[in-house]
């Protein structure tokens, strides 16, 4: 029996729900008036480091950030 | 640490208890209201005390909280609404803004920009992103004008 559940357009284009939700949230934030817009954008800034592992050893970490490195 | 779930009363409660939360703040915490209208993907859904337990995915749109004669409106970007059998409603949204914080000029600009992108989009992913842009901005527009 094939599952015929209707798939949302973003899912059929290969996007996950979380990507869709984050895009919607970013669009709404961009449509805010100041000062709420700058508050919202600064609130959502992220800064993190990702380390991939291979053969039980950590590789070089990459830092992903919204704040410019000075 | 967690409180146990409040029990389901034997007779219909007169008020709906709403927990409206965002990732960074609780907009409403155990607020007793008469009704909330949420923008579910299946359309505007009204939730009254005694509503059947439901899980609803929300689309970008207007959320209104009705208490007596007061109506508070928020625009939410997306999220979920859970209604429990004890007349508690949990509404989770990623972004929720009162309507007076929305800039109408930005909304119009975004709408025309994304409508253009939708027409010129080639890959499925581009089309999907442009479609999301059009959906969100049209919802913002109708929320402001409706």
Q: What is the pLDDT of residues A7-64, one digit of tens each?
A: 888 999 999 999 999 999 999 999 999 899 999 988 888 899 999 999 999 999 998 8
Alpha-carbon gap: B7 to the closest alpha carbon of chain A (Å): 32
Residue B89 preceded by cis peptide, ω within 30: no
Beta bridge partners of B73: B64
Q: What is the tens place of the pLDDT at every residue in B58-112?
A: 999 999 999 999 999 999 999 999 999 999 999 999 999 999 999 999 999 999 9
pLDDT at A70: 58
On whether the CB atoms of residues A16 and B125 are closer than 8 A, the answer is no
Q: Answer yes or no: do B102 and A9 touch at CB < 8 A.
A: no
Q: Is the pLDDT of residue A69 over 70?
A: no
Residue labelled with tokens 């027409």: B119
Give the side-chain half-sphere CA count within 13 A for A13: 19
Helix H or strand E segment including A17: helix A17-30
pLDDT in tens, B113-135: 999 999 998 888 888 899 999 99
**pLDDT at position A3:** 65
DSSP A67: S
Dihedral sign, CA of A30, A34, A36, A41? positive
* Closest-CA residue to A15 (of B22, B78, B120, B95): B78
pLDDT at A1 over 70: no
φ, ψ of residue B80 to 5 degrees: the values are: -140, 150
Is the CB of A28 less than 8 angstroms away from the CB of B75? Answer: yes
- Alpha-carbon distance B105 to nearest alpha carbon in chain A (angstroms): 8
**Cβ(B132)–Cβ(A27) below 8 Å:** yes
Whether a cis peptide bond, with omega within 30° of 0, leads into B104 is no
How close A64 comes to chain B (CA, Å)?
A: 21
| Beta strands at B16-21 and A62-65: parallel, antiparallel or unpaired | unpaired
Q: What pLDDT is attached to residue B5?
A: 81
**Alpha carbon separation from B29 to A11, A25, B26, B64, B92 (Å, rounded):** 33, 22, 6, 15, 12
Contact between B95 and A29 using a beta-carbon 8 Å cutoff: yes
B10 has a pLDDT exceeding 80 = yes
């Amino acid at each position: 029996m094939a599952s015929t559940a209707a798939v949302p357009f973003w899912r059929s284009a290969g996007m996950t729900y979380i990507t869709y939700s984050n895009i919607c949230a970013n669009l709404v934030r961009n449509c805010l008036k100041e000062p709420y817009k700058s508050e919202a954008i600064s609130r959502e800034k992220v800064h993190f480091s990702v380390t991939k592992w291979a053969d039980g050893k950590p590789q070089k970490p990459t830092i992903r950030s919204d704040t410019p490195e000075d | 640490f967690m409180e146990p779930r409040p029990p389901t009363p034997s007779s219909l409660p007169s008020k709906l208890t709403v927990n409206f939360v965002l990732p960074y703040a609780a907009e409403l915490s155990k607020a007793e209201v008469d009704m909330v209208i949420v923008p579910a993907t299946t359309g505007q859904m009204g939730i009254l005390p005694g509503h059947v337990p439901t899980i609803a995915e929300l689309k970008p749109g207007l959320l209104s909280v009705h208490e007596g004669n007061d109506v508070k409106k928020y625009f939410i970007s997306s999220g979920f609404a859970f209604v429990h059998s004890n007349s508690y409603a949990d509404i989770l949204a990623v972004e929720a803004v009162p309507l007076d914080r929305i800039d109408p000029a930005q909304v119009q600009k975004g709408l025309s920009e994304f409508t253009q992108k939708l027409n010129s989009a080639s890959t499925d992913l581009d089309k999907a992103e442009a479609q999301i842009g059009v959906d969100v901005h049209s919802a913002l527009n109708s929320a402001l004008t409706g």
